[in-house]
């Protein structure tokens, strides 16, 4: 199989601690050099990457519950574009939702490229949105700790990097859906009853390894029962309101118009 495809098919998230072995600076540089080659709109690279080094710093700032020696924080960022435009005497106006969504896509493309580069270098990865969870960390604290800009800027996701502790790594890959409900040819098609039943059977079959959650703890018979009864139900209204307000405050520079 093609080496690139081998890397893609071996991708997996490290849901557990990484080892304390430091990641070589050369590998970090290689990952950064690779991910900035990802496709992006108008070749403007409307993102920035904050390199957070050291287990203590990663735990304190990213606060996702796992230890890792390195984290890359990928952010929507128009400050460089605004500053260079101002330096050249050109006005810039990217504070709108369309520009934000485009830059968000650019950042996600960069982080996925970083994941592939890290995997090819035999490093483990975990992409996490824990930075947006109020119950794990105050968003404003991260802005202060990293001296993040208050305008034209928004953190998208954090990528944890390190050597994976393979002590309890399973010898299988988690399952993925790949047909009906995921891929649509020519037009979007709603699932038929038969297709719904087929997906339920596929996901709930332990041999397909979609997840051990629920079954592992013994409180749910299937993963889908766990998902719909434990994971997906509405959170407390006050928690959602606080989280929404926190995120809205930092997004207002893009949506105020």
Over residues 81-111, the pLDDT tens digits come to 999 999 999 988 888 888 999 999 999 999 9
145-189 residue pLDDT tens: 999 998 899 999 999 999 998 877 777 778 899 999 999 999 999
147, part of any domain: yes
Q: Strands (DSSP E) along the chain, which ranges?
A: 47-53, 70-77, 124-128, 153-162
Residue 209 banded pLDDT, cuts 50, 70, 90: confident
The residue-averaged pLDDT of 9-38 equals 91
- Tell me the residue range of the domain where 127 lies: 3-168
Residue 233 CA to residue 235 CA, distance in Å, equals 6
Helix (H, G, I), strand (E, B) or coil at 124: strand
Say yes or no to pLDDT of 137 above 70.
no
Domain annotation covers residue 135: yes
Q: List CB contacts of 48: < 8 A, sequence separation 6 or more.
A: 74, 75, 77, 79, 80, 153
Lowest mean pLDDT among 45-59, 129-143, 156-170: 129-143
Instruction: Report percent pLDDT > 70 for the chain.
Output: 93
pLDDT in tens, 222-255: 888 888 887 776 667 777 777 778 777 778 777 7
Asked if the structure places residue 96 within a domain, the reply is yes
Give residue 81's pLDDT.
93
Can you give the CATH number for the domain in which 34 is found?
A: 3.40.109.10
- 125 found inside a domain: yes
34-38: average pLDDT? 96
Is the residue at 113 inside a domain? yes
97 within some domain: yes
Residue by residue, DSSP assigns 44-88 as: ---EEEEEEESHHHHHHHH-SS---SEEEEEEEE-HHHHHHHHHH
Point out which residues pair with 52 in neighbouring strands: 71
Domain count, the chain: 1
Q: Is residue 65 in a domain?
A: yes
Could you tell me if residue 200 is inside a domain? no
* Model pTM score: 0.89
Contact 134, 118 (CB under 8 A): no
């Amino acid at each position: 199989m093609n080496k690139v495809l081998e890397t893609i098919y071996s991708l997996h998230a490290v849901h557990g601690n990484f080892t304390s072995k430091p990641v070589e600076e050369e590998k970090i540089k290689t990952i950064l050099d690779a991910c900035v080659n990802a496709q992006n709109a108008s070749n403007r690279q409307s993102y920035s990457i904050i390199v957070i080094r050291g287990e203590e710093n990663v735990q304190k700032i990213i606060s996702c519950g796992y230890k890792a020696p390195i984290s890359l924080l990928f952010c929507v960022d128009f400050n460089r574009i605004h500053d260079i435009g101002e330096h050249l005497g050109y006005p810039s106006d990217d504070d709108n939702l369309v520009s934000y969504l485009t830059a968000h896509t650019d950042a996600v493309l960069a982080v996925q490229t970083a994941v592939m580069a890290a995997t090819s270098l035999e490093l483990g990865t975990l992409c996490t949105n824990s930075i947006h969870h109020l119950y794990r960390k105050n968003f404003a604290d991260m802005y202060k700790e990293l001296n993040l800009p208050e305008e034209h800027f928004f953190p998208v996701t954090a990528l944890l990097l390190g050597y994976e502790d393979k002590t309890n790594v399973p010898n299988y890959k988690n399952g993925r859906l790949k047909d009906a409900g995921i891929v649509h040819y020519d037009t979007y098609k709603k699932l038929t009853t038969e297709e719904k039943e087929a997906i339920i059977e596929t996901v709930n079959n332990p041999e397909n390894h979609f997840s051990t959650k629920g079954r592992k703890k013994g409180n749910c018979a299937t993963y889908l029962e766990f998902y719909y009864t434990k994971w997906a139900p509405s959170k407390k209204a006050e928690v959602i309101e606080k989280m929404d307000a926190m995120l809205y405050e930092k997004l207002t520079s893009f949506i105020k118009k």
